[in-house]
Amino acid sequence: MPVFQAGMGGGTAGHELAAAVSEAGGLGTIGMLDPDDLRDELAAARSRTERPIAINLLLPFARPGHWEVAGESDVVVTFWGRPERRIAGVWIHQAGSVDEALAAHAAGADAVIAQGIEAGGHVRGTVPALDLLEQVRKALPPDYPVLLAGGIAEATDVREALAAGAAGAVAGTRFLLSDESRAHPEYVSRLLEAMETVLTELFGSGWPDAPHRVVPNSATERWLRNDPRGPATVRLLNRLSTPLLKRLPLSTVHRLAAGQRPGVPFYGPASLIEGGDGTLVDATPLYAGESVQRVHDVRPAGELTRELAG
């Protein structure tokens, strides 16, 4: 089945979502966590399905422990950094440009994901997904698998991607709004009501100069009046905070996010997940792709997987 679930990190895409997608015939992906938590999530997913499970790693934050756990999965998907083979098994790299896709191919990646600018979360792409797919397909060998990410919310999107030469389609926002997603109810509510998104660098403490697409909230309305990227002073603060924050475990970074406030310009990339403080919905990133405008319900991930493939 040509349906892949994006590996939304920080606990949003856990074993429940990954296993449900895989059991329905797609490829479910566990988002990045601290190594011990990631191993627990992989084991929990294995207890729910015998089908392949992927793990997503963000290269700026991947440590030896992450690679050890990733090597135990069926597929590793990497993102945001110089592509390099670090495991013996199946490796897919998500790219936002032809040059990055070529680099991944040269490094031995088994496939690449062409990510368009309309994608949600952190966005490497700078052109529409179908345009990038066409460019990447022309640059790589004709039999080399290229998947498409960005704008995938309905079966027609998957069919369009396949007709354009993609080997599969990667959906994030559609699965974010599923029963098995761990997104906080307040986060889900904002996405269901959303009519627009913004590409910004505001939520970049610890991960600067990394554009991300979000649904507007009080923080974006307060700080993005003159520049959608965010004020220069805030982006400088993000860069200055990075050396310290990158040394901290991801779980600690999530705890620090509990202190974020709309009027205080110090925002990290951690999203709001179930069990968190719902009032943080206005001070944390509400990651979503442009396709959020076409998603109006929350349903089981298995059902969504089969529907997308149809």
Its pTM stands at 0.94
Mean of pLDDT over the chain: 94
Q: What pLDDT does residue 256 have?
A: 65
**What's the CA gap between 21 and 25, in Å, rounded?**
7
- CA-based Rg of the chain, rounded to a whole angstrom? 18
Strand segments, DSSP code E, in 212-301 are: 212-214
Q: What pLDDT does residue 250 have?
A: 64
pLDDT per position as a tens digit, 232-244? 888 988 888 777 6
pLDDT at 10 over 90: no
Domain 3-180+295-309, what architecture?
Alpha-Beta Barrel (3.20)
**What's the CA gap between 32 and 21, in Å, rounded?**
17
pLDDT per position as a tens digit, 18-67? 999 999 999 999 999 999 999 999 999 999 999 999 999 999 999 999 99
Q: What pLDDT does residue 266 have?
A: 75
68 SS3 class:
helix
**What's the CA gap between 214 and 229, in Å, rounded?**
12
- The percent of residues above 90 in pLDDT, for the chain, comes to 85
pLDDT at 98 over 70: yes
Q: What is the DSSP letter of 51?
A: S
Q: What pLDDT does residue 245 have?
A: 67
- The percent of residues above 70 in pLDDT, for the chain, comes to 94
Q: Which of 26, 3, 41 is nearest to 273 (CA)?
A: 41
Strand order in the sheet with 121-122: 121-122, 212-214, 198-200
**What's the CA gap between 215 and 35, in Å, rounded?**
29
In the chain, CATH 3.20.20.70 sits at: 3-180+295-309
Q: What pLDDT does residue 236 have?
A: 83
- What is each CA distance from 8 to 66, 156, 167, in whole angstroms? 16, 23, 21
pLDDT per position as a tens digit, 247-261? 767 666 666 666 677
**What's the CA gap between 295 and 192, in Å, rounded?**
7
Q: What is the DSSP letter of 196?
A: -
